[in-house]
Amino acid sequence: MKKFLAKSYLYILLLVLYAPIAIIILFSFTNSKTIGDWRGFSLDLYANLLSGQAAHSATITQAVINTLVIALIAAAISMLLGSIAAVGIFNIRNRKVRKAIQFANNIPMINPDIITGISLFLLFVSLGISGGYVTVVLAHIAFCTPYVVLSVMPRLTRMNPNIYEAALDLGATPLQAFNKVIIPEIKPGMVSGFILSFTLSIDDFAVTLFTKGSNGLETLSTYIYADARKGGLTPELRCLAAIIFLTVLILLIIINRRSSRFNKEQ
Amino acid sequence: MSLSKLVQKRSNWVAPYVLFLVLFVVLPLLLIAVYAFRNPAGQFTLQNFVKFATQSEAMNTFIYSVGIAIITTLLCILLGYPAAYILADSKLNRSKSLVLLFILPMWINVLMRSLATVALFDFLHLPLGEGALIFGLVYDFLPFMIYPIYNSIQKIDKSYIEAAHDLGATTRQVFTRVIWPLSVPGIISGIMMVFLPTISTFAISEILTLNNKRLFGSIIQDNMMMSDTMNYGAALSLIMLIIIAITSAVSGDDSDLSEGGSLL
């Protein structure tokens, strides 16, 4: 009985948590101007979106492309920067230096998005760099890299440090030893870090808003924001919201599978 | 020292990232402070802070935001604690996927979740306004309360609970004397992750209340977006940043936040 009540509470809460998302997804499959007005199942909105017949279709397509390009570049650079940094941090013997770097690494994760966004906005303003692709990508690298560091670190901790030394003793150059010994060990962490960064980047709204500048660069989130601000969401955007929700959820489930497999191995 | 020598020492590999952190994390935060103490002409001034203290709009919004944030935080604890407790209790729940389902919405951005809330209210023909704002905020931040509490309850050494039972404690006493005190750090992390972000929330209060109510974050955003009030916006951000620094110092560590990163 107690178990039944407890489980019911969880399921009711989950129902409420997922209801709004479910409603957006549901109403992306009907051809109506407003949510709540069900006009029968239809794929019209998706068709409009894909065929370019929706209002502002070109802008929406451009926003999708921008979002993906920014996410790919930011995730790739974060993965490289973060992995190299993790190897460095792991090999720092001075505890104080190590703590200081780890603290700085935590800052972007603790700060609310708006503070990260504003601080970078001020940086670009004072350097006289106008907002655009470059500033958005740099900003995304800033908040993604800490997560790469965090997903690579546990792999290094688990690694047997003697193998690298052994490779050097057996005549490998440091570069060879790195490629053959360290990379294979940390690769799963790098991949998780990449997927995580990609997800965070697609999903970001606040930081992008402050760093995109005024030259008309829009990502999906900022476009949806501008659209919602004008009053009511363009119906086709429900499809996009549905697609983003599902993409993010699937990516997160993949990352989680990977990390729980890693935990089991340990 | 030659370049290859520098590369050989692996602790040096951290150098590019340290440079990046200084330039894109530390320096920008310092710039907030620099701008906050300047007027648009670039001279030192305290005027921005005087304006915050004396001008009613920002101050009123700030107080209103704190009020809304307190309500949101309390509701999150009230709804989230039982959920976290059930999730962490191996007698009541063994499913890890259920935990994951509660945590996943954390990673969908606040804007999208607020638009989804608007959709829910439209669907149920409920009016938007203060009620929608509080519902939306609780909906947005509940996972951030559940997760740290779940973590702290899960970490409790089960032998403490068994020991309490063996020594004759009732289930109720076990809860009030053992589980609750040990889960307090989780509640504190949860408060950190709900209370502060609620105050600094922007964009979503407009969407959920049809532009009727605004939170502190919106005031910061408005001022930041115009070059003649940018310094005032920076001062408001600095106030926010100081509150964050004080609360993180008071609440001890930030381990739960970084664990949030490694969980997924």
DSSP string, chain A: -HHHHHHHHHHHHHHHHHHHHHHHHHGGGB--SSTT----B--HHHHHHHHT-STTHHHHHHHHHHHHHHHHHHHHHHHHHHHHHHHHHHT---HHHHHHHHHHHHHHHHS-HHHHHHHHHHHHHHHTPPPSHHHHHHHHHHHHHHHHHHHHHHHHHHS-HHHHHHHHHTT--HHHHIIIIIHHHHHHHHHHHHHHHHHHHHH--HHHHHHSTTS----HHHHHHHHHHTTS--HHHHHHHHHHHHHHHHHHHHHHHHHHHHHHH-
The residue among B5, B112, B146 with the most chain A CBs within 10 A of its CB, best to mutate, is: B112
Q: Do A229 and B207 touch (CB under 8 A)?
A: yes
- Residue A199's closest CA among A62, A21, A25, A68? A68
* Contact residues on chain B for A245, CB-CB shorter than 8 A: 108, 112
Tell me if A158 is assigned to some domain: yes
B70: exposed, middle or buried (Cβ count in 10 Å: 0-12, 13-18, 19+): middle
Q: How far is B84 from chain A (nearest CA, A)?
A: 9
Report pTM. 0.86
Residues A32 and A133 placed together within one structural domain of the fold: no
A249 touches chain B (CB under 8 A): yes
Residues A14 and A136 placed together within one structural domain of the fold: no
pLDDT at B55: 82
- Indicate the residue of A92, A120, A204 with minimum beta-carbon distance to B14: A92
* Contact residues on chain A for B98, CB-CB shorter than 8 A: 10, 14
Residues A203 and A240 placed together within one structural domain of the fold: yes
**CATH code, A105:** 1.10.3720.10
Tell me if A214 is assigned to some domain: yes
The pLDDT tens digits of the residues spanning A70-92 come to 999 999 999 999 999 999 999 89
Amino acid A234 reads T
A172 touches chain B (CB under 8 A): no
Residues A96 and A176 placed together within one structural domain of the fold: yes
Q: Is the pLDDT of residue A24 over 80?
A: yes
Average pLDDT, integer, range A230-258:
80
Q: Are A207 and A81 in contact (CB under 8 A)?
A: no
**Inter-chain CB pairs, A–B, below 8 Å:** 243
In chain A, how many domains are there?
Answer: 2
Q: What is the mean pLDDT of chain A?
A: 88
- Indicate the residue of A20, A109, A149 with minimum beta-carbon distance to B117: A20
The pLDDT tens digits of the residues spanning B28-54 come to 999 999 999 998 888 898 988 998 888
Q: Is the pLDDT of residue B170 over 80?
A: yes
User: For residue A158, what are its two tokens?
Assistant: 């688990």
Confidence of residue A231 (pLDDT cuts 50, 70, 90): low
Which contacts (CB < 8 Å, 24+ apart) does range A61-65 have?
A62/A218, A63/A218, A63/A219, A63/A220, A63/A222, A63/A223, A64/A220, A64/A240
* Contact residues on chain B for A108, CB-CB shorter than 8 A: 25
Confidence of residue B262 (pLDDT cuts 50, 70, 90): very low
A248 touches chain B (CB under 8 A): yes
ipTM of the complex: 0.86
Q: Do B139 and A17 touch (CB under 8 A)?
A: yes
Tell me if A211 is assigned to some domain: yes
* Contact residues on chain A for B104, CB-CB shorter than 8 A: 249, 252-253
Q: Do B107 and A82 touch (CB under 8 A)?
A: no
Torsion angle in degrees (nearest 10) through CA of B75, B101, A109, A206:
-80
Q: Do B264 and A255 touch (CB under 8 A)?
A: yes
DSSP-assigned beta bridge partners for residue A153 = none
The pLDDT tens digits of the residues spanning A141-160 come to 999 999 999 999 988 988 88
Tell me if A51 is assigned to some domain: no
* Contact residues on chain A for B93, CB-CB shorter than 8 A: 6-7, 10
pLDDT over 70 for what percent of chain B?
94
Confidence of residue B260 (pLDDT cuts 50, 70, 90): very low
A21 touches chain B (CB under 8 A): yes
A223 touches chain B (CB under 8 A): no
Q: Is the pLDDT of residue B261 over 50?
A: no
Q: Identify the closest residue of chain B to A257 by CA–CA distance.
A: B264
pLDDT at B255: 45
Domain layout of chain B by residue ranges: 56-263
Residues A209 and A106 placed together within one structural domain of the fold: yes
Tell me if A48 is assigned to some domain: no
* Contact residues on chain B for A205, CB-CB shorter than 8 A: 109-112, 203
Task: Give whole-number Cα distances, A36 to A27, A229, B27, B112, in Å.
Answer: 8, 20, 48, 18
Q: Is the pLDDT of residue B4 over 80?
A: no
Residues A9 and A109 placed together within one structural domain of the fold: no
Tell me if A192 is assigned to some domain: yes
CATH assignment, B56-263: 1.10.3720.10
pLDDT at A65: 92
Residues A121 and A213 placed together within one structural domain of the fold: yes
Residues B146 and B97: their CA atoms lie apart, in Å, by 15
Residues A90 and A173 placed together within one structural domain of the fold: yes
Residues A35 and A61 placed together within one structural domain of the fold: no
Q: How far is B242 from chain A (nearest CA, A)?
A: 11
The pLDDT tens digits of the residues spanning B102-161 come to 888 877 777 878 888 888 888 888 888 899 999 999 998 999 899 899 989 988 888 888
∠ CA B185-B187-B190, rounded to 5°? 110
- Indicate the residue of B32, B143, B262 with minimum beta-carbon distance to A150: B262
pLDDT at B252: 62
Confidence of residue A266 (pLDDT cuts 50, 70, 90): low
Confidence of residue B71 (pLDDT cuts 50, 70, 90): very high
A19 touches chain B (CB under 8 A): yes
**Which range of residues forms the domain containing residue A33?**
1-42
Residues A222 and A214: their CA atoms lie apart, in Å, by 12
Residues A108 and A176: their CA atoms lie apart, in Å, by 34
